[in-house]
Chains A and B, each alone.
Chain A
């Protein structure tokens, strides 16, 4: 149990350090962008939120040990989701009427993503109903983001005429899926969630968070 707890603790340190590095890279890239794109500024905000969330949890474990009412670390995670939703809205903002029409066909299939998210959320809440309010605060933006990520992925993958940011949308989808499993494994009855699948998801989350920047960079450069 101690080994798993230590591994989880280390994943927060590594995750925080990586988020700080990718946040700095995003800011540097945003300053270099000539077309005035918001994408990398918003990605910088996303990584700043992830970084602060990790730091808050680490400090809360190290410095204080009282229970949480509403952890500001969770709030920061919600902020990270809101930054990704803003990116999705920003990407659809510049579409022509033709592009909008082409993408509109994939709105219905994209509802599959929120359906999966809601199923996970129902499973989570049925196991762990005590923090319903906290979880809803986090679940609502996850559902919205999953819809946008799948819709934009399908529209750009099959729509052809749209800008090619498929790697970024795919990375966001993977990040959401890992998060859903992370939350579910944290509540499956193990003592404080420190079980092998939970710790694996914790490390996967760290890696997929880093992957979002590279996917965005690859999409923009292409």
Chain B
């Protein structure tokens, strides 16, 4: 059995100390990275609880694994989005800051999840570690970046931000669900699932580096 809380404590404490010593954008990045770790820990608890409750609810009968496949993407994306929504609602920072904070949450989440999987399945298999890094890690970072980029477009337009945030959350949850569906399948489908995050990351990078965010406020 792996005690996730212990992994969280040993990863978060140095980051919290670093956040106290740093200033400006670097501190913000460190804080949101730590929040990403926390979001992953909490979503692990919530996923397990909801899957156990709804797996056999009288209407549909699913195994816990099947229920997890449908609930996990939605739950994880909501947990990742909460610190970003708070940041956008409370602080009217520049658009680049929102994208950077979102990316930090996504990276923190991916780091914690990868730590768990490496401990669960062993660290001896280099190919497994490489695949995790390039797939699940990139999915979390890409989803968070897409959410941040979308919120950055509407953050200064008050009432527009709410439906747009909801729409982005739906979009990232589905993207995550498609990835989960593919990697849970076999053979060629799984290969497509492994390639999908890398292609998306490249598209997001091109979109983010070239976009000028020239939207009227």
Closest to B164 in A: A86
Complex interface: chain B residues within 8 A of A90 (CB): 157, 160
**Pairwise interchain contact B170-A79, C-beta atoms closer than 8 A:** yes
Does B114 count as interface, using CB distance less than 8 angstroms?
no
Does B169 count as interface, using CB distance less than 8 angstroms?
yes
**Pairwise interchain contact B181-A56, C-beta atoms closer than 8 A:** yes
**Count the A-B residue pairs with Cβ separation under 8 angstroms: how many?**
121
- Chain B nearest CB: distance from A125 CB in Å? 15
Would A64 and B171 be within 8 Å (CB), given that A36-B216, A69-B70, A86-B163 are in contact? no
Complex interface: chain A residues within 8 A of B73 (CB): 72
A163 to B153, CA, bound (A): 22
Complex interface: chain A residues within 8 A of B154 (CB): 38, 86
Does B189 count as interface, using CB distance less than 8 angstroms?
yes
**Pairwise interchain contact B59-A63, C-beta atoms closer than 8 A:** no
Complex interface: chain A residues within 8 A of B163 (CB): 82-83, 85-86, 89
Pick from B104-112, B131-139, B172-180 the stretch touching chain A.
Answer: B172-180
Does B215 count as interface, using CB distance less than 8 angstroms?
yes
Pick from B7-15, B21-29, B38-46, B60-68 the stretch touching chain A.
Answer: B60-68
**Pairwise interchain contact B70-A71, C-beta atoms closer than 8 A:** yes
Pick from A41-49, A103-111, A211-219 the stretch touching chain B.
Answer: A41-49
Q: Which of A38, A69, A78, A80 has the most CB of B within 10 A?
A: A69
- Chain B nearest CB: distance from A39 CB in Å? 11
Complex interface: chain A residues within 8 A of B71 (CB): 69-70
Complex interface: chain A residues within 8 A of B103 (CB): none
Does A66 count as interface, using CB distance less than 8 angstroms?
yes
Does B185 count as interface, using CB distance less than 8 angstroms?
yes
Complex interface: chain B residues within 8 A of A78 (CB): 170
**Pairwise interchain contact A49-B67, C-beta atoms closer than 8 A:** no
Does B166 count as interface, using CB distance less than 8 angstroms?
yes
Q: Which of B73, B170, B178, B182 has the most CB of A within 10 A?
A: B170
Complex interface: chain A residues within 8 A of B67 (CB): 69
A68 to B178, CA, bound (A): 14
Does A98 count as interface, using CB distance less than 8 angstroms?
no
A53 in complex: contacting residue of B57, B167, B174, CB < 8 Å: B174
**Pairwise interchain contact B171-A38, C-beta atoms closer than 8 A:** no
Measuring CB to CB, which residues of chain A are less than 8 angstroms from any residue of chain B? 27, 31, 35-38, 41-42, 45, 48-49, 52-53, 55-56, 59-60, 62-64, 66-73, 75-76, 78-80, 82-83, 85-86, 89-90, 93, 130
Instruction: Given A66-B66, A72-B73, A89-B159, output 19 extra A-B contacts at Cβ < 8 Å.
Output: A38-B154, A38-B160, A38-B215, A45-B164, A49-B174, A52-B175, A59-B182, A63-B185, A64-B181, A69-B67, A72-B70, A72-B74, A72-B174, A75-B170, A78-B170, A82-B163, A82-B170, A90-B160, A93-B160
13 chain-A/chain-B pairs, Cβ below 8 angstroms = A45-B150, A56-B174, A56-B177, A59-B185, A63-B184, A73-B174, A76-B171, A79-B167, A79-B168, A79-B170, A82-B164, A89-B163, A93-B159
